[in-house]
Structure 1
Amino acid sequence: MPDSKDSADELAGTEQPFVQHLMELRNRLMYGMAGLAVCMIALAIWPGPSGLIDWIAIPIRAHMPPDAKLIAVGVFSPFFIPMKVLAMTALVISLPWWMYQVWAFVAPGLYSHEKRFAIPLIVLGSLLAYVGIAFVQFMVLDRMFGFIQQFTPKSVAATPDIASYVEAILSLYLAFGLAFQVPIVVVLLVKMNMVSVEKLKDFRGYFIVVAFIVAAVVTPPDVISQLALAVPMCLLYEVGIWGARWFVKTTEAPEEEVAENPAE
């Protein structure tokens, strides 16, 4: 065993009793819920549930008659749908806080070189999720609804139900937020030695096919949203290959750690 104090401190806490791990997990969940509650209270004060609904309805209302409004078919929809949007928005805003709680829970079992790359990945993953959601709101929805409205007969009044509209766009937010994590997944696969950069390059053609299949499954049946998801996924795959090569080189384990853990 090495005599270095730093080496001994790196794995401090990894031999905690199982009950202590459960208590730590409980505490991290409570901290995460507290952060979520703070975000919900802040959003309830401003802009409020109605303000959030008005904001996410901008893309579709731009393609509706000036005096037209979304309708609420369900009896409780006017209350539950704004509350649902409020909770989902608070969850998105508190995402970095949740990811930090996950990191804090697993950090005691990580080596120093693993901790160095964990935090940048958490920050980058949160930013990519926000970029994906913003891409949907400001780029995809307007073009998608414009494309769909072209096929609406003149004898039909397009007044969507607020519940179905919110469900549709939340599924798009989730799909794009997850799809924009492709670079993170690629980096982790290479970092964990599950695949090499060369193999990822060889898989490039297959990934393009997979990206278009995923886009066809998770997006509405219109070509605009499908292309809007598949093309960024392919580009982010290339970014992930480049980032994996750079990231792995900059986060290699020190020689003393490799000697201490030859199986790593």
Structure 2
Amino acid sequence: MSRLVIFTDLDGTLLDHHTYSAEPARPAWEAAQAAGVPCIFNTSKTRVEVEQLQEKLGLHEPFIVENGAAVWFPGDTDLPLPPDARPTDDLYCKLLSIPRTEILEALNPLRGRFRFRSLSDMAVNELMERTGLERQQAILALQREFSEPLVWMDSEDALKECIEALGALNLRLVRGGRFHHVIGAGDKGQAMSWLLAVYQKAFGGAITSVALGDSENDLNMLAAADVPFLVRSPVHAPPTIPDRPDVCITSHCGPEGWAEAVTSVLEQAGIRHP
């Protein structure tokens, strides 16, 4: 196997759906880190959420936020940055979507046609109740820059109409573990492919991309990966990935399933736990 790069969803995949703990996966990500295998977060979470999580887990890698909307690089990265990467708060940002303000403007006319509640309508306490996040984590989750989560309160037929209406505005509506997310034209798969090209340039050799996710908003990332893993969820059935009969579905849920998948890939590459 060529050099590995791991891309992973967070909520429901590396993080437990209910507790948001990643501890069962710690031995696997530490083994990857010790072997020099990058572990890239590709998530619907915000920049500030991911920064805090990386610090907690002892990781220092680029990361993709808000369902593929932007790629953030550490300020001291050795990777070749694109000319349009902009410095922000000791990080560099490659924007792949549009600002949240434009998304909110596009949603305003749709509020009369469809029944939904957006994140911008919610106070911290409501978000805590809906997600189980602690207060500080909920505050970070509200600090979105490039997307808008929705609680869909209308019918499935209305959802299809809303998707068409947003598509006419070059926006997408994707289903996550708890919310539907309105984002720009990009997705997790396109962001992963873009960042893989950066690693290809840096490594100068063949790369095997591994992707792990659990929800519909992960499908583009999983479909674009060399080695896709669907991590089982305790709250919904594994979604179908079209034209990828090789997808592996873990036996366990959440971080236990994540560890199961990553351990198998590392062992195949001759990397074992310390």
What is the TM-score when the length of structure 1 is the normalising length? 0.22
Identify the structure with the greater strand proportion: 2
Q: Looking at CA atoms only, which structure, 1 or 2, has the larger radius of gyration?
A: 1
- The structure with the greater share of residues assigned to helix is 1
